Amino acid sequence: MKEISSLELMFLIKKLNLRNSKIQKIKQIPFGFLFELYPSKKNLIITQKYLFVTEKNYDSISPSNFCEFIKSKLVGEKILEIKQKDFDRIVEIKTENYFLILEFFGNGNIILTDNEKTIINALEMREWKDRKIKKGEKYVYPPLTRNPFTVSLKELNEMIDEKEIIRILAKDLSFGGEIARKICEKLKISPDSKSSLNAELVYDFLKNIEENFSEFENINQDLEKDYETENHLYKTKDLTEIVEKGKRIRQQQLKALEDLYKKIEEINLNIKNIMENYIEFQQKFDEMKKTPEKEIEINGIKFNPRKSFNENIQDFYKKIKEMKKKIEGINNALDKFEIKAKEKVEKKEKVEWYEKFRWFISSDNFLVIGGKDAESNETIIRKHLKEGDLVFHTDITGSPFVIIKNPEKKKIPETTIREAAEFCACYSKAWKIGIQADVYYILPEQVKKEGGLPKGSFMIYGKREWIRRIDLLLAIGVYNGKIIYGPISAVKIKTKKYIVITTGEENINEDFNKYFGELAEQAKKAIPYGKCKIVEIHGN
């Protein structure tokens, strides 16, 4: 799950317009809580990593004690204010009688306090040397970071005399490494630079931060996309658990059936033995019955001395009958469980429309889809290509069409463009041939279907933007019990367990089976043209 930066949080809070909204309902959802608001008819989603607003409703899961507690306190409350604490990753939601404090650093936490900031409850109780998250304690903020928007040019110059600009931005100005690198890229300055000229550039840049980071204008939608990806993978994991539970129960019940059948076979053999040697057994039984024993055993067969010889034989038949009833009951239970498990699977296994194609989620949370063959190429262009999207293709025959989906029509970052090009190159025939690939990208209006063109083929008009000499490297990883694949940068942001493959014809079956286990066959389906060699292994 994405971790929100202080800068992204600043942009987000400015966009949230929830003042005077009433909390109508609170429910537990995967990774957090859904607050149903009125009259805005919006839902506020709160996780331990970020918050966002959506018009969508997500399926609830069994509520935790904390969920039930905040529900009892906050349902019916009116939201008076939502604000970021200085430039920290802390958000305060003020209602009529409470503060809900959201900490988005570390593992994240959600704390409920009264109006005096006395802690009433928290998602996780914690204790440090200088602060406690504990019932009855006053809420104490962690040591506050510097607000970069209150720093003077003089202070900035003094800082840069001592350290590199990247360290100033990341640590002293609280932007963190990723945002600090983006600032250096946007300013076209070296991260290691210490010149006072750079201090002026940075100072002016920060004064116009909203213009300079216009990509964060859509941060709410980006967080919504990230959550939906995580939620989808959570459901897939949940589905795996249902199947595994079903397997365990089935194995237990099959073992019980096996034991019952063995006992029936044993009793039937005993009855056969008795009937074939009836007189001998009866004589021994009558003789042994004269002695006061709790149990009579003849040739390994146990009899009840309080009953007659024939009554004992009837008991053997009764036991068989009882066991057959148990077998019938177990078989019925198995059938019912399998029907119930199937219903759960069908309910949870909602396949997203894009899963019929090749797809991945980019580092910037854009959905990228690609065709698998001529028919799916035709489908994604004719049915799924919309205004705002970007289309990728190579000049090599047999190349897939790849689309970056962009429903909000915002500027697509260079990282996502590069990743889509790499994805297109890897699934083109360049992989089969074993050469680098050149990929171009165009706008939707440049793609036309002309009469006489075969299925999956389109005419391209106008200027093409090229990305040249792309190395063919593809990552395949495991995330929440499911195989994901795509460009290395997009996969490694989601999981530490992944391999990197390139063109080649090595026998990878043993390595895949060992690394991916039960998911090996699914992982092999991601290999372009079914041939590759492994060049990196991570998180083994």
Whole-number average pLDDT of the chain: 89
If asked whether residues 404 and 376 sit together in one domain, one would say yes
Report the CATH number that the domain containing residue 70 is assigned in CATH: 2.30.310.10
In a domain, residue 246? The reply is: yes
356 pLDDT above the threshold of 70: yes
pLDDT of residue 196: 60
Tell me what the mean pLDDT of segment 123-142 comes to: 93
What is the three-class DSSP state of 488? helix
241 pLDDT above the threshold of 80: no
Q: Model confidence at 442, in pLDDT bands (50, 70, 90)?
A: very high
In a domain, residue 417? The reply is: yes
In a domain, residue 218? The reply is: no
If asked whether residues 360 and 340 sit together in one domain, one would say no
In a domain, residue 321? The reply is: yes
Q: How far apart are CA 423 and CA 439, in angstroms?
A: 10
In a domain, residue 142? The reply is: no
Q: Model confidence at 327, in pLDDT bands (50, 70, 90)?
A: confident
Please answer whether residues 164 and 193 qualify as being in contact, where contact means their C-beta atoms are separated by less than 8 angstroms: yes
pLDDT tens digits along 261-276 = 899 999 999 999 999 9
pTM: 0.49
Strand 367-370 to 402-404 pairing:
antiparallel
In a domain, residue 245? The reply is: yes
Give the chain's domain count: 5
Q: In 349-413, which ranges are continuous DSSP H helix?
A: 374-379
If asked whether residues 259 and 168 sit together in one domain, one would say no
In a domain, residue 217? The reply is: no
**Closest by CA position to 513, among listed 524, 501, 502:** 524
pLDDT of residue 197: 59
Tell me what the mean pLDDT of segment 15-23 comes to: 92
49 pLDDT above the threshold of 60: yes
Report the CATH number that the domain containing residue 193 is assigned in CATH: 1.10.8
Range of the domain at 497: 474-538
Please answer whether residues 537 and 515 qualify as being in contact, where contact means their C-beta atoms are separated by less than 8 angstroms: yes
Share of residues in the chain with pLDDT > 90 (%):
57
pLDDT tens digits along 462-514 = 999 999 999 999 999 998 788 999 999 999 999 999 999 999 999 999 999 99
If asked whether residues 301 and 246 sit together in one domain, one would say yes
pLDDT of residue 350: 58
What is the three-class DSSP state of 314? helix
Q: How far apart are CA 299 and CA 78, in angstroms?
A: 82
